[in-house]
Amino acid sequence: MVNERLRRAMHRAGHDVGTLATAAEVSTKSVERWLGGAVPYPRTRYRVAAALQVDESYLWPSESNLASLTGAELVATYPRRGDVPRDLWIELLRGAERNVDLLAFAGLFLTEEHPDWLPMLAAKARAGTRVRLLIGDPDGAQLAARDEEYRIGGGVAGRVAAVLAYYGERMPEQVEIRLHDTPLYNSIYRFDDDMVVNVHAYGVLAAFTPTMHIRRIDGAYFNTYSESYERVWASARSADDVFGRTNGPGDPQD
């Protein structure tokens, strides 16, 4: 039986047998078999669905497994943030066109260890990418609590002050910056449909805790962390007073 859904999805996405085979990392013979009714292996199904920008359940409803689809969002996991490939941060930023979102207490490693981070972030914002930065509130209770947890004598507050100075000096007014006073269970770094989540553990510095690279494929991982980010963003206050801005784009709207 011909898989008419697959054929139509290929047409809508501008794919032929050859280009879909390349995207799915298979032979053209495999794609021809799928069109004839064969069903690819699970991980290949995820690649095909992502390439065609449709749900895997639409293409192969009898084989769909939502739990497996969600698991396919995990591109890579690392035991420590320091194990994330150094080039990945800049490559993800370079490829972002719609959204760049950051949630951390400081995230100072990006500004200090990656010389291209600040100029590229500024260029993205000027070109129309929405850039939102959520940094720990220097006057908030959570920052003080995290510093006590780490037992580094004001080191967290110092890192926040340093990162705010970097962004204050180098970011155009298009960049939206807010200060949050929320318990930080994870640091979140979003680049369009890619996200890096640094999972925190009590008493352990973020650089030494597990980190996940997630890619949106209609599963629960990406959506969960995206919702969490939006909740923190809505509760945070503008950083305009820190940078001397008035009526800047980072002002809360309510």
Exposed, middle or buried, 76 (CB in 10 Å: 0-12/13-18/19+)?
middle
- pLDDT, the chain, mean: 87
Structure tokens belonging to residue 155: 């080191």
Query: pLDDT tens across 226-243, in order?
Result: 999 999 999 999 988 877
**Around Cβ 160, how many Cβ atoms within 10 Å?**
24
Rounded-to-integer distance, Cα 18 and Cα 26, Å: 10
Query: pLDDT tens across 51-62, in order?
Result: 998 888 788 887
Predicted TM-score of the model (pTM): 0.69
